[in-house]
Amino acid sequence: MTTIDPDAAAPRADASATVQPPAGVTEAADRLGSTLQAVGQWFTTTDHKRIGMHFIATGLVVALLTAVFGVLLGIERISTDALVFQLPVVNEFFEGFRLGLVLAVLAPLGIGLAIAVVPLQVGARSLAFARLAHGAYYTWLAGVVLAVYALLNDGSTAGADRQMVELYLLAHGLIVIGLVVAAVCVATTILTSRAPGMTLMRVPMFTWSALVSAIGVVLVLPVAIGTLVYLFVDIRYAGGVFTEGAAAWLGWLFTQPLTVLLALPAVGVFAELLPVTFRTRLPLRPVMMLALALVGVAAFAGIAQQAVVRTAVGDAESLVPFLLFNALPLLGLLLVFAVALLAAKPATNDDGSRRLPRFSGAFLMSFFGFGMVLVGTIATAGHGVEDLELIGTVFEEGALVYVGYGGLLGVMGGVIWWLPKLTGRRLSDVLVAGLAVAGVVATILASLPYLIAGFAGQPARSPVFSTSGPMELWNLLVLMGHALMLVVVLAVLVLLARSYLAGGDETVGDDPFDAQTIEWTTTSPAPPNNYPEVPTVTSAEPLTDLKTHSTAGSPS
């Protein structure tokens, strides 16, 4: 397809034969026309980088709303013997927080970053089915807006307004359809649009994680559509016989280990930044790819619609599914950590001197994000052991927040890392590092107290309870954690907007991080078609090889 500029192609009339308006009016009309054209192009673009930024920006805005839900729940739970808000409103807080964190923040941020970066990483000129991906964004966005509207009008799964409950279920369907379609576009790009020589064994680690996560989303989320159709038909034609327990029917969609699958792109960001940070080639690359694939095994839990596998110590019959759903994803994350330790070993130059690592703010944010996802996955394995009596307590919510906020941190680190390719600017490493520390503190505050409160028996979805322990303190700490994460996300949003609109903190060249993969060979920001010529890839670190050959061929 060829795009023709109508202004350039249209014949110009003779200025002497027409009446010219005043100069000020002409300039104002031109500015207005240019603004409207730019806005129209932005909202109808087929540039995958802009489409990905739509997902990312909207996901971060929803993250603010999700953190607000967390703060409101913390306020409610501080008072353990009386309601601060009305009970229907509290139910909306519970469901809004889970829906927001999983399907409106974690999933779209990972898919959005993949849409923005993956075509660059595999040497493609564009995203496969770019218009379809943009349509998927609007479908997902419509679902999010309708879900919020339904929640604000007593439309949770336990709501009294049946029409709003129907709308709430319909909104879930739109969200799921948008995410599935976007994931199909990502997976198709990786499988069919790679540059010559870019085999699957040579794709960058982030691209590999995006492929595993996208395939998992395509396999799992259609199962949720079936459940939603069942519940919708039930409430419409059977009076809601089963819909009153819809939170249980859909519970597997908003808990671990499925959320670990959605957080996998954040783990891929950490794996991608490892060798660049420590200035070495990634050791045991096939093991790292296997580790990321093992995390994708969490998709089986979604296909089986299992939130957790309840097993008792010594129960051999339930041990196999428990290990399949919980232990294999955990093993994958532990293998990622093991390879990271090998990559962190001090590297040496040709003259024997030690090569010092180059820590960036983006790497610290991705490292903290990976660590929080790992802790949440370990906690999930403990939650699945029935003998510990943690099922039905806030312990699971603590594990969810570890994974959800950890994935949020990891993806924000990836956005900041690839920001030069999106805007041509980069953010201050010192400032980003400070936000990374604040983000990990916020995650721990919002999660760890609930792991403790779970052992003390605090119920998961009940705002009023009576149990042992300093519950007010634990819930106050959780409230503070959500409030701090709200501040961190708001700061990142402001910095990203400033980078795009006002020029960021500093301009950068094509390869500001001394990176290894081919996206850093094109200009910053990358042009709409990514590359003037389709690159040819000969290894997993083509840019490193190019630099090595250039150095070896240069005169001494």
Q: Where are the alpha helices (DSSP H) in 344-470?
A: 361-383, 395-417, 419-423, 429-455
Say how far apart CA 175 and CA 116 lie, in whole Å. 20
Question: Which of 152-166, 296-310, 408-422, 473-487 has the least mean pLDDT?
Answer: 296-310
Say how far apart CA 475 and CA 463 lie, in whole Å. 11
First to last CA, the chain: 48
Quick check: 195 and 226 in contact, CB under 8 A? no
Model confidence band, residue 127 (pLDDT cutoffs 50, 70, 90): very high
Model confidence band, residue 17 (pLDDT cutoffs 50, 70, 90): very low
Which residues, including other chains, have CB under 8 Å from residue 46's CB and lie 6 or more apart?
126, 130, 131, 134
Ranked by mean pLDDT, the top range of 51-65, 83-97, 522-536 is 51-65
Model confidence band, residue 52 (pLDDT cutoffs 50, 70, 90): very high
Cβ atoms < 10 Å from Cβ of 435: 23
Percent of the chain with pLDDT over 90: 51
In this prediction the pTM is: 0.89
Average pLDDT over residues 489-502: 88
Residue 61 reports pLDDT greater than 90: yes
Summarised one tens digit per residue, pLDDT across range 110-125 is 999 999 999 999 999 9
Residue 554 reports pLDDT greater than 70: no
Q: State the pLDDT at residue 556.
A: 35
Say how far apart CA 164 and CA 157 lie, in whole Å. 9
SS (H, E, C) 360-389: CHHHHHHHHHHHHHHHHHHHHHHHCEHHHC
For residue 525, cis peptide bond before it (omega within 30 degrees of 0):
yes
Mean pLDDT, the chain, whole residue set: 84
Cβ atoms < 10 Å from Cβ of 200: 13
Q: State the pLDDT at residue 39.
A: 65
Q: State the pLDDT at residue 317.
A: 62
Average pLDDT over residues 407-431: 94
For 513-531, the DSSP string reads T---SGGGGS-SSPPTTS-
Say how far apart CA 519 and CA 526 lie, in whole Å. 9
Summarised one tens digit per residue, pLDDT across range 236-265 is 776 665 555 555 677 788 888 889 999 999
507: three-class secondary structure by DSSP:
strand
Average pLDDT over residues 403-412: 97
Q: Which domains does the chain have, with CATH numbers?
A: 47-346+355-465+475-548 (1.20.210.10)
Residue 466 reports pLDDT greater than 90: no
Q: CA–CA distance from 158 to each of 110, 162, 228, 241, 313 (Å)?
A: 30, 10, 15, 12, 34
